[in-house]
Amino acid sequence: MTENEMPPMASLVPLIDRLREIADEEIPHPQTLETRVWEDGDYQIRIFHNGPAKEQIMYKPEMENPVWQRLKGRSEGFTEDASEYGEILELDYEEREERQIEW
């Protein structure tokens, strides 16, 4: 794969379609779909709604089932373990709910 070539995503389409069906049942609209695919074939799919509380469905290959999350009251902070490239931003939430969704 060349530097500017995108990894193939066609094999993810049925999975994305199924996660969109789940998201339609679980989280409000409007929804945003975010798919990240890395050169090594790893990927992450996330469908979310930004409202007073962020709701999202997330799936990665190492997960048995997709996960639904509701996140509210985001606060940002930098970790004490900073690398040579700068400090790492960590997100924390005042309220966090999470559950697995059976396929």
Which tens digit of pLDDT belongs to each residue from 18-40? Answer: 999 999 999 999 999 999 988 88
Nearest alpha-carbon partner for 69 in 87, 57, 52, 84:
57
- CB 58, CB 80: distance < 8 Å: no
Output the pLDDT for position 88: 47
Q: In the structure, what pLDDT confidence band is assigned to residue 8 with cuts at 50, 70 and 90?
A: confident
